[in-house]
Amino acid sequence: MTTMHPPTLDVQKRDPVFLDRYTVANENLLVLAQIYTATFALALGSLFGLLQTFSRANFIVMPPEFDYYRMLTAHGVLLALVFTTFFIVGLFQFAIYRTIVRPGRSLKLGWFGYAVMLLGTIMAATSILGGNASVLYTFYAPLKASPWFYFGATFLVLGTWVVAAEVIENVIWFKRRHAAQRIPLPAFIGATTMIMWVIATLGVVAEMALLIPWSLGWTSGIDVELTRILFWYFGHPLVYFWIMGAYLVWYTIVPTTFGGRVFSDSLTRL
């Protein structure tokens, strides 16, 4: 059994170290903020789905503000995009904080990223619930949403890029201090996944660069096929991030919890 002990670089020698009772309250607070926001999005999106089911089954009558496509868009965006983004980002931040022990770590970048993500989510959610963005979570042009929706989606993604920068910064810090050591496996999975995330979300940001001026009326036409391809450039890899999260848990948290070991560290990294 592990006992309480003060923060020490010692724990980095053991890999992985998820079971350590060593906690840094500030870091946990940021991770919890991410996970609670994800859970709230899941709860709200699920509630909308449930209400629509009851409404379709004629169990209840929904007020006209809760029309089917508006609620379906809110359901899809909250579950597929918002829930996934906050949960995955929070999980990998957790992996970094727990395995790269860094006393006095600055969380400014991490909190800033979270704030940008939250701002984007609120902008997009407000515009959907206001009935100005009933475009489903795929938002295929030339269905047009309010610019607020597109700005919101852009901020949600840009916020995750800030978090990705924070994750990479922590890994670089570790490598500078411990050149001879391997990056702890959970931190390695976290960093590679965040890099994959940035590559995948390039598609959304590129699409938004086309959609925002168009929705503001600055440009008149939109390339229907191009925007759809850019969406799926992101939408298809989106499912990888759940599997990467599952890999992190299977390969590091589960073996630690149940006293097992990682069968092959090298192959896991591969």
Partner 1 sequence: MHVHRYEKIWLAFGIAMLAIFLVTITTAAVVEGFVPPSHVESIDPAKVSSTAPFDHPGLRKIKTGVYEAYYVGRIFAWEPRTLTIPAGARVTFFVTATDVVHGFSIPETGVNTMVSPGWVSTVSHTFAKAGTYLLLCNEYCGGGHQAMAASIVVR
Which ranges in the chain belong to alpha helices (H)? 25-56, 68-76, 84-99, 108-129, 147-177, 185-215, 224-248, 254-257, 265-269
Closer by beta carbon to partner 1, 84 or else 134: 134
Query: How many CA atoms lie within 13 Å of 58's alpha carbon, on the beta-carbon side?
Result: 0
Query: CA 93, 96, 101 angle in degrees (round to 5)?
Result: 130
Closer by beta carbon to partner 1, 3 or else 266: 266
Least distance from partner 1 to the Cβ atom of residue 71, Å: 13
The Cα 156–Cα 117 span in angstroms is 4
The Cα 39–Cα 44 span in angstroms is 9
Least distance from partner 1 to the Cβ atom of residue 270, Å: 8
Closer by beta carbon to partner 1, 61 or else 225: 225
Structure tokens at 132: 């100005």
Least distance from partner 1 to the Cβ atom of residue 136, Å: 5
Query: How many CB atoms are closer than 10 A to CB 49?
Result: 17
Least distance from partner 1 to the Cβ atom of residue 135, Å: 8
The Cα 72–Cα 186 span in angstroms is 36
Closer by beta carbon to partner 1, 25 or else 267: 267
Least distance from partner 1 to the Cβ atom of residue 125, Å: 19
Closer by beta carbon to partner 1, 94 or else 251: 251
Give the interface with partner 1 as residue ranges (CB under 8 A).
Answer: 67, 69, 134, 136, 140, 142-143, 224-225, 228, 263-264, 266-267, 270
